[in-house]
Structure 1
């Protein structure tokens, strides 16, 4: 639990003028904290002339580009900034693990860590970061997924769960478009798990495959709304948004078992729709996709509890904030 005093300001560290899943969640947290009566601001870095991305003006977050490095304040840092802990001496630092895998892909690590990676010593690379840069550097740990909680515990630390939610506008739009006739087409994210996905595509060439890339949020919503199936055999470094967005638009969701997808608490879909990304499992995956396309109405009912869970995430997010940020 994070102690909040009368004079505590909560700084939520976020990249300037960048829009993606992580930055949106950071703005959601600052917005909810402010709404619930905490003194919370976005702390943008680097300091640029217009740090607020147009996608996030809707949250009306207060922001700063410098902070008071004082012990009564709290700085919430997503994993892309974990290597900057040494820049702050007094403020209480809270690590918020929005992902696990992405920590070890960031370009922010010091050169001597990159050298270990270059030598192919991945296990030593991870250990060096966790022991040298993470353990003992933070007063608190929060995790967006149960996958992250499990990883953190393996390193002898504890983390509290603070996840995320899909925007109200997205949920509203998905409900309004509930009656659209579905097309027998399959969506996928080409930025994640593409090599294995291409093997599935090669085994099912007669199907219609559509990559979700270079699209506006509205265009993504339109494709999800008209499609029957979404597959995701990526790494799932955190509790990803695409599977949830696909589900609320009534797509059948088929995933691998990497990262957060291995945890039922993070991706609570029936086990039959989770298949390990091994070549010998490609026929099984193809058969599942075919079944979802040919018997869509039966399969989609298996995702109803997942959809209701997604619709309840925002309320759960607010409850978790009240539980974790304790006013003194």
Structure 2
């Protein structure tokens, strides 16, 4: 129940809307499964796994070993995350390498990274992943996703005057950095987003002025996008896909390098300014929100440009 699985359901939905027969298949392949309730809104019929000529099977990047076992169908990988494939957490480089090698011995990652996967079709959700794939001699097909379209509206405007001095964060992302910021700023209310259903999550996001994310941003993460569409300002780090202005196109002023010596003081100053002058800062995210509203159409066009062209 995270961003990647929802993106896969969206892809199947958009393809079916375009008249391209597409299905979702759940792991493990030999067990029956039904669609999780939050994804019933998508036209994503469930099918059995079928490695047969004429089929294209698209795997998320965390299952390259399954894609490599395809013999009769065409296999593709959709790079929804780079960090999750590389087992990279940006905490200690050696630890990341050990994690990856461990996955190699488990048969879950190729020894030479994506260089071992050149024979497959590759789709990329981020500029971040595209740059890595280019270094491996692969030119991927761009294929972004969007957040839940129910959030792509201006409902946040109704809550602008009632927002409170609350700072939200994902406790599963960038915990060490966030803990440091919380300890240095006891005057503010930091609220972790956990154990919430969709409605409760929206209520929290509508109530808060600021969402922070100093995690490793493996892909175009959904939470920053959803927070922005609920009227929150953002402060993020520079790891992963947050490090470029294509995958996370917010003003550079709101991206801080957590490795710098003056990071905590810089964060405290910026956060204080946002909470004190929320209206001004919030307007700085209007262009980002406009871009997020355009993502479903970009997604559909990318699908049509590639898959419909292939049918001709």
TM above 0.5, yes or no, is yes
Verify the 8 A CA contact 1:230 1:252 in the aligned structure 2: yes
Q: How far did residue 126 of structure 1 move?
A: 9.1
Q: CA RMSD in A?
A: 2.3
Verify the 8 A CA contact 1:224 1:249 in the aligned structure 2: yes
Taking structure 1 as the reference length, the TM-score comes to 0.85
Q: Which residue of 1 aligns with 2:155?
A: 176
Verify the 8 A CA contact 1:102 1:237 in the aligned structure 2: yes
Q: How far did residue 40 of structure 1 move?
A: 1.0
Verify the 8 A CA contact 2:86 2:100 in the aligned structure 1: no
Q: Which residue of 2 aligns with 1:197?
A: 178
Taking structure 2 as the reference length, the TM-score comes to 0.89
Verify the 8 A CA contact 2:23 2:45 in the aligned structure 1: yes
Q: Which shifted more, 82-91 or 235-244? A: 82-91
Mark the CA change 1:170 to 1:50 in structure 2 (over 3 Å): closer, same or farther.
Answer: same
Verify the 8 A CA contact 1:233 1:256 in the aligned structure 2: yes
Equivalent residue in structure 1 for 2:197, among 194, 199, 216: 216
After TM superposition, which residue ranges in structure 1, 4 or more long, deviate above 2 angstroms? 47-51, 117-139, 175-178
Unaligned runs of 5+ residues in structure 2 are 89-93
Verify the 8 A CA contact 1:45 1:65 in the aligned structure 2: no
Q: Distance in 1 between matches of 2:176 and 2:113?
A: 34
Report the number of matched residues.
297
1:216-274 C-alpha deviation (Å, 9 max, x unpaired): 11111111111100000000000101111111111110000000000100101111100
Q: Distance in 2 between matches of 1:83 and 1:200?
A: 39
Mark the CA change 1:294 to 1:33 in structure 2 (over 3 Å): closer, same or farther.
Answer: same
Query: Does 2:256 align with 1:275?
Result: yes
Q: Which residue of 2 aligns with 1:160?
A: 141
Equivalent residue in structure 2 for 1:246, among 227, 232, 235: 227
| Structure 2 counterparts to residues 118-133 of structure 1, below 5 A | 121=98, 129=110, 131=112
